[in-house]
Amino acid sequence: MSNLPISRKCLMWLGALALGLLVVFGLEPSVALAAAEHAADSTAHTFTSKVAGDGGAGKGAAFAFWSFALCAVGGSLFVITRRNMVTAVMGMVGTFFAIAGLYLMLYASFLAVMQVLVYAGAIMVLFVFVIMILNRPVDEPWAVQGILGKAIAALGVLYLFKRLAGILWQVKDTHALVLAKDKLDVEVVLNHSDPELLKDLGVLSIRGLKHADVCKSLFAVCRDNTLNHTVADTVKNAYEFGSVEGVGYTLFSKYLFPFEAVSIVLLVAVVGAIAIARPDKNEPEGEAAKEAS
Amino acid sequence: MITIVPNDFLYLGPLAVLTIVGLLLILAEAFAIGKRRRFLMQLTVAGSVMAIFAAIYTWRSIEPGTQISAFSGMLIADRMSMFLCALFAGSTGLIAMLGAAHQREYDWQVGEFYGLMLLAAAGMCMIAMAGDLITIFIGIETMSLAVYVMTAARRRSRRGSEGAMKYFLMGAFASGFLVYGMALLYGATGSTNLQTIRSVLATSQSSSLTVAAIFMLIVAFGFKIAAIPFHMWAPDAYEGAPTPVTAFMAAAVKSAAIAGMIRIFVQALGGAIVPFGQVGWSSIFAIIAAITMTVGNIAALRQDNIKRMLAYSSVAHAGVLLVGLVAAGIAPEGEGLASVLFYLLAYSVATVGAFGVVVWIGNRDRERVLLSDWYGLAAAKPAAAMVMTLFMLSFAGIPPTGGFFAKFFLFKSALMAQDQALLWLVIVGVLNSMISIFYYLKVVMAMYFRDATGEFKPLNSGAVTFVLVLCGILVLQMGMMPTSWLGYLGV
């Protein structure tokens, strides 16, 4: 694995790209929203040639999605292939940023911010501190000994990849259909912009509007109109789900028990870390040496 | 949309008791510097006993065969979970008694030990009561983190640190697999709730995503129960940890992992709703079970360190438990689940007892963990040799001990499942029981037919003696009156 020809420059470029995309999409949530809507569609498009033909509007979002995904996977490969630990950690930062971008595309704006603040910010700083304080020499990566173990592991991984590939093939059968159906509903409104119909729906003007704005108007329209129920509800729910309010509400209603139980996990971790790491005051000299000999 | 009702808190009994007493113990330790520490152990035992009573009380309040969902589906209260809570609390209490004497003798008085042990037990109760993947994950992490620390608690022991490090790295890796598997399962079904997952999978054609998820979950739980080929950490961690902690890992942690597997595999993914060979995930587990039993037993034959031998024996027992899980998975209406629970009980009692004897026999100058250190025990201390023989017989599955009926019920349920589809597995299991008799009897031979090498100076502790006597009585009682226990296990 350590000889994989991944150029560092290429990865840094990808990281910068991810950061840029994150900034662009992060500034305007509604853009990200619309992008996400289209990314989902376009992802399906990329996989299936059946529905090919349109989707011009989704190309940018699809590009964003695949860039983020590439950054995430590339960054994690970077982490496990570098021998210099600081470099590896930098790869992890790239991965975290890319994942934050993916969260954003999934409407989870709060989670994306937390990902950047907590993981890419605080935890990575800790990582770097620990590595620099310990100042470990460059390490050999851990290797599975024995040809049998390697063979079994290789077979297992191959099987897993086969299964995962199977998933990608299955996506077009189930999800693309659903998406195509939803898309149709949107397009009834967007493309067949019949003034009379739109007036009925309460949308006064549609020309010259960005897709995102139309999406916003659609919420307004669809609150009291059952047409396009699914799309509007999906977008609306997703929009609310990722907000701070939505996360807080879920945390204290449905997920109350896990939320409280996590505090026990943290307590155990803190107490345990102190119990192991604090200096042993009454350690008699030479006992460890006696046992070692 | 607030879905928490006051009644939900009624079912938290054992979990709440264990958590609160665990927190009290962590606080108490801070104020106990330089004072007598015996009360820490006494408080632990009191907490465990209270948790057992809470579990029994809740058990009685639940109708047999019903599952009550609490905290919007995050927890499930049923008779099985209450039985498991009582089992975890019971082993925790007994092991705390072993721990106090061991700590005093080997001078590793880490006060956090008791608090962490009770919090680990609380995590186990969470796993047993889990109705949601998230609860299972949090429970497993609570338990694992505490046990990593307990493994390293004897800080002057290099073997302890090495074992803890291996255990921690492997365990962290396994947790990664666990989360990934759960995420994929969520991706496949759109829910983390076990009942919803079951109904979604039953109505829709399950995808490759489900299979990949199950693949990951099998790896993760394989690590936790130390099934082969995921057992590498077990011998080192078992040998390096202080003996009471080894007992805790072998008895309680393994049982808790099995409880999680019952919740995920048997109850959520059970039956033929998942494609994976002919009988769903069971086909993979059947193969793992056969390999685990065989390799575990053969490796145990060659050990001359008792703790290492018991480690490999517990690997082999994990294989037997998997046979029961497979049977319960492919025939959910059968007796598979009850037999697995009975096996857990018999195995836990014998494990705590056997490690109790290992704690009892050694002292500061000579820990006596090698087989040759046990030569001539029967002549010097006949009672101890007798209870150790009982535990060995129970492990090997020889009447009149609980282990015999545990194996009997378990293999019977496997034989009855689906037109004897598991006949080959049962044959492998029975053959393995015969192999295991060799090394269990090696201990008995050492105690009875060899000459002692030096005078025995066992620990002089009433608590340890109490544990040994209680476990001995329970092993015999389960061997003579197994039906009464089966009645309690009617899940």
Q: Tell me chain A's radius of gyration from C-alpha atoms.
A: 25
* Helix A229-241 and helix A244-252, axial crossing angle in degrees, nearest 10: 80
Q: What region, left, alpha or beta, does residue B417 occupy, with left being phi > 0 and alpha being psi -120 to 50 degrees?
A: beta
| Position B120 pLDDT exceeds 90 | yes
Exposure of B423 in the CB half-sphere (CA atoms within 13 A): 3
Task: Tell which of B207, B276, B281 to mutate to test the A interface (max A CBs under 10 Å).
Answer: B207
State mean pLDDT over B273-302.
82
What average pLDDT is seen over chain B? Answer: 89
DSSP reduced 3-state for B131: coil
Q: Do B208 and A254 touch (CB under 8 A)?
A: no
Residues from chain A that touch B74, judged by Cβ atoms under 8 A, are: 254-258
Looking at residue A3, its pLDDT comes to: 41
- The alpha carbon of residue B375 is apart from the nearest alpha carbon of chain A, in Å, by 23
> Please, how many CA atoms are within 13 Å of residue B233, restricted to the half-sphere of its CB?
28
Q: Which two tokens stand for residue A157?
A: 């991984």
Domain assignment of residue B348, yes or no = yes
List of chain A residues whose C-beta atoms are within 8 Å of the C-beta of residue B19:
264
Measured CA to CA, the distance from residue B99 to residue B352 in angstroms comes to 11
- Region A241-251 average pLDDT: 83
Tokens standing for residue B373: 């250190």
For residue B247, being part of any structural domain is answered with: no
Residue of chain A minimizing CA distance to B116? A268
Residue predicted with more confidence, A6 or A84? A84
Tens-digit pLDDT profile for residues B425-448 = 999 999 999 999 999 999 999 999
CB-based contact B146 A268, cutoff 8 Å:
yes
What is the average per-residue pLDDT within A10-38? 53
> Does residue B31 contact residue B50 with C-beta atoms inside 8 Å?
no
**Over the stretch A106-156, which tens digit does the pLDDT of each residue have?**
878 888 988 899 988 888 888 888 888 876 665 555 555 667 777 887 888
Residue B114, CB-side half-sphere exposure with 13 Å CA sphere = 35
* Contact assignment for B208 to A167 by CB distance below 8 Å: yes
Task: Report residue A105 CA to chain centroid gap.
Answer: 8
pLDDT for the residue B396? 93
Q: Taking the CA of residue B284 as centre, how many other CA atoms within 13 Å lie in the half-sphere pointing to its CB?
A: 20
Distance (Å, rounded) from C-alpha B224 to C-alpha B255?
10
Contacts of B177 in chain A (CB under 8 A): none
Considering only the beta carbons, identify the residue of A272, A280, A288 that sits closest to B116: A272
Instruction: Tell if the CB–CB gap between A291 and B2 is shorter than 8 Å.
Output: no
Residue B335 lies in a domain: yes
Tell me which residue of B85, B93, B101 sits closest to B47, measured CA to CA: B93
In this predicted structure, the answer to whether residue A223 has a pLDDT above a threshold of 50 is no
Predicted confidence at residue A45, as pLDDT, reads 38
- Residue in A closest to B158 by C-alpha: A288
Quick check: A271 and B152 CB within 8 A? no
Per-residue pLDDT tens over the stretch B332-347: 777 888 999 999 999 9
Distant-in-sequence, close-in-space partners of A6: CB < 8 Å, separation ≥ 6: A74, A77, A78, A81
In this prediction, residue B155 carries a pLDDT of: 82
Residue B428 included in any domain: yes
Q: Is the pLDDT confidence value at A164 over 90?
A: no
Asked whether the beta carbons of B368 and B374 are under 8 A apart, the reply is yes
Residue B437 · residue B396 · CB < 8 Å: yes
| Partners of residue B153 in chain A, C-beta under 8 Å | 275
Any idea how long chain B is? Answer: 491
Q: State the pLDDT at residue B417.
A: 81
Interacting residues of B189 by C-beta distance below 8 A, sequence separation 6+: B196, B197, B200, B201, B210
- Band the pLDDT of B310: cuts 50, 70, 90: very high
CA torsion sign, A77 to A80 to A85 to A89?
Answer: positive
Give the pLDDT confidence of B202-229 residue by residue, as tens digits.
Answer: 877 666 778 888 888 999 999 999 998 8
Q: Which residues of A touch B (CB under 8 A)?
A: 149, 152, 159-160, 163-164, 166-167, 170, 174, 249, 253-258, 261-262, 264-265, 267-269, 271-276, 280, 283-284, 287-288, 291-292
Whole domain around residue B366: which residue ranges? 277-491
Cis peptide, bond prior to residue B275, ω within 30 of zero: no
> B367: which chain A residues are within 8 Å (Cβ-Cβ)?
none
Task: Look at residue B374 and tell me if it is in a domain.
Answer: yes
CA dist A156 and B276 (Å) reads 14
Chain B hits for A291, CB-CB cut-off 8 Å, are: 156-159
Tell me the pLDDT tens digit for each residue of B41-82: 899 999 999 999 999 999 999 888 888 888 888 999 999 999
Q: Which residues contact A56 (CB under 8 A, 6 or more apart)?
A: none
Residue B70 in any domain: the answer is no
Please indicate, yes or no, if residue B166 is contained in any of the structural domains: no
Closest CA to A227 of A275, A254, A194, A272: A194
A167, B152: Cβ pair inside 8 Å?
A: no
A184 pLDDT above the threshold of 50: no
| Model pTM score | 0.81
pLDDT of B389-420, one tens digit each? 999 999 999 988 999 999 999 999 998 887 77
Residue of chain B nearest A254, judged by CA positions: B72
Please count the structural domains in chain B.
Answer: 1
Q: How confident is the model at residue A22 (pLDDT cuts 50, 70, 90)?
A: low
Minimum distance, in Å, between the CA of residue A184 and any CA atom of chain B: 24
Task: Answer whether A160 sits within 8 Å of B115, measured CB to CB.
Answer: no
Torsion angles phi and psi, residue B273, rounded to 5: -90, -5
Mean pLDDT (whole number) for B132-155: 93
Residue B133 lies in a domain: no
**Three-state secondary structure along A36-47?**
HHHHHHHHHHHH
Residue type, B462: G
Cis omega (within 30 of 0) on the bond before B458? Answer: no
Question: CA-nearest residue of chain A to B165?
Answer: A276
Which one of B142, B167, B228 would you mutate to disrupt binding with A, by most A Cβ within 10 Å of its Cβ? B142
Q: Choose the weakest-confidence range: A62-76, B1-15, B72-86.
A: B1-15
